[in-house]
Amino acid sequence: MVDLSVNLAGIKLKNPTILASGILGLDVATLKRVVKGGAGAVTIKSLTSEPRKGHNNPILIEATEGVFMNAVGYANKGIDHGIEEFRKWDEEIPLIGSIVAADAFEFAKLTEKIQETPIKALEIVLSCPHTPGYGLLAGQGSPKATVEITKAVRKKTKLPLSVKLSPSIEAIGEVAKAAESAGADIINMGNTLGPGMRIDINRAFPILAFKIGGMSGPAIKPITIRSVFDLYKAVKIPIIATGGIMTGEDVIEAVMAGATAVGIGTGIYYRGLSVFQKVCQEIERWLKTNNFKDLKSLRGIVHKT
């Protein structure tokens, strides 16, 4: 018997697969289907203080083989609606909250509010590459802003706190250390890559309505693996590897680099809602074949070589 369960900053996950934020996380009914698909935890789509329409369509395109590119622009019905919706969560599988805001003060307010839902952890996203006023476009990717925001949120909650970083900034180690020093319990590495752009040459027009977008999909996996590898050396808190994780072998690779759990999003496009189950079966098979009894014994092993 192999053990797929992981301990993520005190939260026990039956397996290391987590639905990444922004994918199918608008309502409880749809998240329940992701739970049926085998996810170890699910993350809601990020909530903002006020309802947001987000960018116009197209918001998501297949940029090239193995790469999706999106600029949704945080379309969501706002925190108050979110609380009403996610208050209904009654699954054993942990629900992870996710919030985005323009500054530390707003992040703190949202943190207070979102705890009216039964979330088991909170993710703060400082790394969106395509929404004016938020994430990278608001300078939230710097160590200074990361400390300020993480501290403000930390004061308002005892829940395990995850900070979602961007793979597109150079000093990720510094930013992750900043988050850790300010009280973060988990680093989610990370957000979509880029931003990138595609132009439709028949119309001579950028395809995404926001023109630029963050990239996801199997092709970005090497960047995720390298980022996790770097962070494992930089911080002691657990790391969630998000970006290009599609298969059980991808999870093994991420764990060897130092990840405790993985985020899966675009993988749902490639492998359906049961991607989580499939990934777990593949992990199990790999562990058995290679005589490992759990993921813990694999974590970060490449750092020893």
Partner 1 sequence: MNNIYQTAKIKSVEIETPKVKNFILDSSIRAEPGQYVMIWLPGFNEKPFGIVKPSPLMLSIAKIGPTTEIIHKLKVGDKVTFRGPYGQSFKIKSGKILLIGGGYGVVPLYFLASSISPEKRKNITVVIGARTKKELPFVTKFKKLGCKVLVTTDDGSAGFKGFTTQLTEDLLNRKKFKAVYSCGPMIMMKKIAQLSHTKKIFCQVSLESFFKCGGFGICGECCVNGLIVCKEGPIFEGKVLL
Active site residues: 128
Cβ proximity to partner 1, 25 vs 40, nearer residue: 25
Q: Is 265 in the site for partner 1 (CB under 8 A)?
A: yes
Q: Is 161 helix (H, G, I), strand (E, B) or coil?
A: strand
Q: Is 58 in the site for partner 1 (CB under 8 A)?
A: yes
Q: Is 75 in the site for partner 1 (CB under 8 A)?
A: yes
Q: Rounded CA gap, 136 and 130, in Å? A: 8
Q: What are the beta bridge partners of residue 34?
A: none
With CB under 8 A, what is the number of residues at the site for partner 1?
33
Amino acid sitting at position 14 = K
Q: Is 294 helix (H, G, I), strand (E, B) or coil?
A: strand
Q: Is 30 in the site for partner 1 (CB under 8 A)?
A: yes
| Binder of partner 1 out of 33, 88, 155, 233 (CB under 8 A) | 33
Q: What are the beta bridge partners of residue 215?
A: 69, 193
CB of 33 to partner 1, least distance (A): 5
Positive or negative, the CA dihedral 183, 143, 72, 259 is negative
Q: Is 56 in the site for partner 1 (CB under 8 A)?
A: yes
266 is in an annotated binding site: yes
Q: Is 83 in the site for partner 1 (CB under 8 A)?
A: no
* Distances, alpha carbon 194 to alpha carbons 168, 239, 264, in Å: 6, 21, 18
61-69, 109-117, 119-127, 156-164 -> range binding partner 1 (CB under 8 A): 61-69
For the chain, give the number of residues: 305
Q: Is 21 in the site for partner 1 (CB under 8 A)?
A: no
* Distances, alpha carbon 89 to alpha carbons 81, 83, 102, 161, in Å: 14, 10, 27, 19
191 is in an annotated binding site: yes
Cβ proximity to partner 1, 9 vs 75, nearer residue: 75
Phi and psi dihedrals of 287, rounded to 5?
Answer: -60, -45
Q: Which of 56, 43, 51 is nearest to 76 (CA)?
A: 51
Q: Rounded CA gap, 161 and 113, in Å? A: 15
Q: Rounded CA gap, 55 and 70, in Å? A: 10
Angle, CA of 82, 211 and 97, to the nearest 5°? 20
Place of tokens 């993710």: 123
Query: Assign residue 214 a region: left if phi > 0, alpha if psi is -120 to 50, beta otherwise?
Result: beta
CB of 275 to partner 1, least distance (A): 11
Q: Is 260 in the site for partner 1 (CB under 8 A)?
A: no
Cβ proximity to partner 1, 180 vs 250, nearer residue: 250
Q: Is 286 in the site for partner 1 (CB under 8 A)?
A: no
Segment 165 to 184, residues that bind partner 1, using CB under 8 A = none
Q: Is 219 in the site for partner 1 (CB under 8 A)?
A: no
21 is in an annotated binding site: yes
Cβ proximity to partner 1, 74 vs 107, nearer residue: 74
45 is in an annotated binding site: yes
Q: Rounded CA gap, 305 and 297, in Å? A: 15
| Binder of partner 1 out of 25, 160, 195, 213 (CB under 8 A) | 25
Q: Is 133 in the site for partner 1 (CB under 8 A)?
A: no
Q: Which residues are annotated as a binding site for FMN?
A: 21, 45-46, 164, 217, 243-244, 265-266
Q: Which residues are annotated as a binding site?
A: 21, 45-46, 164, 191-192, 217, 243-244, 265-266
The residues binding partner 1 (CB under 8 A) are 22-27, 29-30, 32-33, 45, 54, 56-62, 68, 70, 72, 75, 200, 202-203, 205, 207, 209, 265-266, 268-269
